[in-house]
Amino acid sequence: MIRMGRAEGWLRRPINALPTWAKFNGVTFNGIRVGPMPGLEHQGSTVIAKRDLSGGKEDALMVVPKELIVSRQNIELFAKSDQHLREVLDAVGDFGRTTRGAVLIFLLMQATICCPDIKDVGVLSPLNEYIKFLPDELLPTFWTEEEQELLVGTTLRPAVRAKLNSLLREYESVRAATEHIDWCAKYWWDDERGLINFEDWMRVDAMYRSRALEFPGVGDCMVPCVDMANHASGDATAALYETDGSGNGLLLLRDTKDIKKDGEITITYGDDKGACENIFSYGFLEDTIMSARAMFLDLDIPDDDPLRPAKIAVTNAAPGFRIFEKHDRTAWESDFVWLVAINEEDGLGFKLRQTIDGEREIEAFWKDQELNDTSKLRDLLQQDPLWDVYRLRAVVILQGRVESQLQALQDIGVPKRDLSIRETPWQLARRLRTLESEMLKKARTDFEDQKASLFESDIVRRYLGLLEEEANDEDVDFS
Ligand SMILES: C[S@@+](CC[C@H](N)C(=O)[O-])C[C@H]1O[C@@H](n2cnc3c(N)ncnc32)[C@H](O)[C@@H]1O
């Protein structure tokens, strides 16, 4: 439906119509306009200074009435006057009570309301019109199979695969949950005349993913017009966003920034986000990015671990670890690796328990202490006399995983470019491969240093039987 609406024009409006929409709906612009930056048209529209702007001396550059904010709370309010939206939200249950679920359903409803083939569904509102200004972002979920192949060996590849699977599951469950609603059955899902397909779900997901910002006091939401600001990190960020005392959305020039007429007013989408996450959520990498910044690598429990099935059954930690930049080095964090690193002989145990409804449940124990939240395992191990030993095991496991990821990247080298591969996916994949490869090499060296320093620990040396050997050697020398 959305693709059709773009092609036929009923779901598309040129960005030069935005000032009229904004004025009509109470959005104020102060010294700014929205449009493409000459020379940077590939970045879509952005916020541009209409005159010289001085940090610390300007009122808000944008004020967006709180009623226009697409947040979970507002969608609940919209649903009070839109029975069709209410029906769908109720039908999808808990999913409709999450921000993501509510926003995706809301966006789908806006496209439905705009569709000329659909009559008497939903309520007209300024937001039906607003989605017509939103471009279709080329996020990796829209890359072709060949383009996704360029990502093999990067952390983006499994992330895109997992995302497509979860989108498909969501789409199927929204469909199953709403098929019994007459108008949904007719306009959305009918085998011949139904207008919605999986691509629509991917498109509303992309709109939300690439435009949602976390506003203090509101949470994740889409704020019309503020979401036209492009991203720049660090000192280059020109403006901040927040809400005023009444809940309206504001775009504020940073006190330290002066922007000349025709300069760009950028915000930050999050300076800590890694290169992978930037491409995943926004479909671009800033030109100034010189490192992958952060990476999430998955981690498996070895097949020969006798406790593997029980560990998988009890874990509530994400199965992997994150490496990230800290000062000039890499650091890591993981709740999962501790479960991989310890075993029965260390004090990890499992028991089967019968629940009151007759089900059997696995319970985990660490040295007879109940372990009902495996993300707390690290804290328990930290109090153990063998903490350095467990740390060393964790570091060895992670270093091995870093090594295998690096190997996968290097085995493929520079992928071949097929004629069908578009420029943006090609450039992004190439840059990501280089940035992640550099970061993995750095992490490998840092893990080596951590290993070396843990080998200095008396506890580790005693555990490995090295202290006694040294003591014996010394005895021999003295005699
Ligand atoms: C919140 S929207 C910003 C407005 C958007 N440019 C538009 O035309 O509607 C985020 C999208 O803008 C683009 N974008 C933002 N900052 C960018 C940058 N620094 N370089 C390239 N593209 C950028 C990306 O396509 C991203 O997915």
280 lines ligand 1 (CB under 6 A): no
Query: Which residue type sits at 83?
Result: Q
Residues 173 and 69 in one domain: yes
Give the Å distance between the CA of 409 and the centre of ligand 1: 28
Q: For the purposes of burial, counting CB atoms within 10 Å of the CB of 141, is it exposed (0-12), middle (13-18) or buried (19 or more)?
A: buried
313 within a domain of the structure (yes/no): yes
235 within a domain of the structure (yes/no): yes
Residues 167 and 208 in one domain: yes
Give the Å distance between the CA of 211 and the centre of ligand 1: 8
Ligand 1 atom at shortest distance from the alpha carbon of 134: 9
Residues 329 and 456 in one domain: yes
178 within a domain of the structure (yes/no): yes
Residues 240 and 310 in one domain: no
pLDDT in tens, the chain (479 residues): 999 999 999 999 999 999 999 999 999 999 999 999 999 999 999 999 999 999 989 999 999 999 999 999 999 999 999 999 999 999 999 999 999 999 999 999 999 999 999 989 999 999 999 999 999 999 999 999 999 999 999 999 999 999 999 999 999 999 999 999 999 999 999 999 999 999 999 999 999 999 999 998 889 999 999 999 999 999 999 999 999 999 999 999 999 999 999 999 999 999 989 999 999 999 999 998 999 999 999 999 999 999 999 999 999 889 999 999 998 899 999 999 999 999 999 999 998 887 777 778 888 999 978 888 888 899 999 999 999 999 999 999 999 999 999 999 999 888 788 889 999 999 999 999 999 999 999 999 999 999 999 999 999 999 988 766 665 655 544 33
284 within a domain of the structure (yes/no): no
Nearest to 112 by CA among 14, 221, 227, 4: 4
45 lines ligand 1 (CB under 6 A): yes
Could you tell which of 137, 222, 231, 265 is best to mutate to test the pocket of ligand 1, judged by most ligand atoms within 8 Å of the CB? 231
264 within a domain of the structure (yes/no): no
CATH code, domain carrying 181: 3.90.1410.10
> Of 259, 276, 311, which residue is a domain's last?
259
Residues 167 and 308 in one domain: no
47 within a domain of the structure (yes/no): yes
Q: Mapped to the 3 state alphabet, what secondary structure does 136-164 carry? A: CCCCHHHCCHHHHHCCCCCCHHHHHHHHH
Give the Å distance between the CA of 228 and the centre of ligand 1: 8
Residues 326 and 413 in one domain: yes
Please, are residues 337 and 321 in contact by the beta-carbon 8 Å criterion? yes
Ligand 1 atom at shortest distance from the alpha carbon of 133: 9
335 within a domain of the structure (yes/no): yes
284 lines ligand 1 (CB under 6 A): yes
> Of 209, 238, 259, which residue is a domain's last?
259
φ, ψ at 348 (rounded to 5°): -90, 130
Ligand 1 atom at shortest distance from the alpha carbon of 228: 4
Please, are residues 55 and 31 in contact by the beta-carbon 8 Å criterion? no
Ligand 1 atom at shortest distance from the alpha carbon of 45: 8
Residues 309 and 168 in one domain: no
Q: What is the ipTM of this complex?
A: 0.99
Give the Å distance between the CA of 232 and the centre of ligand 1: 10
Give the helix/strand (H/E) hosting 320: strand 320-326
Residues 122 and 183 in one domain: yes
Give the Å distance between the CA of 172 and the centre of ligand 1: 30
Residues 185 and 103 in one domain: yes
pTM, to two decimals: 0.91
Domains held by the chain: number: 2
Residues 295 and 204 in one domain: no
Residues 70 and 120 in one domain: yes
132 lines ligand 1 (CB under 6 A): no
> Of 259, 281, 314, which residue is a domain's last?
259
Q: 139 is in which domain, residue-wise?
A: 2-259
Please, are residues 306 and 320 in contact by the beta-carbon 8 Å criterion? no
CATH code, domain carrying 329: 3.90.1420
Could you tell which of 264, 269, 284 is best to mutate to test the pocket of ligand 1, judged by most ligand atoms within 8 Å of the CB? 284
Give the Å distance between the CA of 44 and the centre of ligand 1: 6
Residues 201 and 55 in one domain: yes
155 within a domain of the structure (yes/no): yes
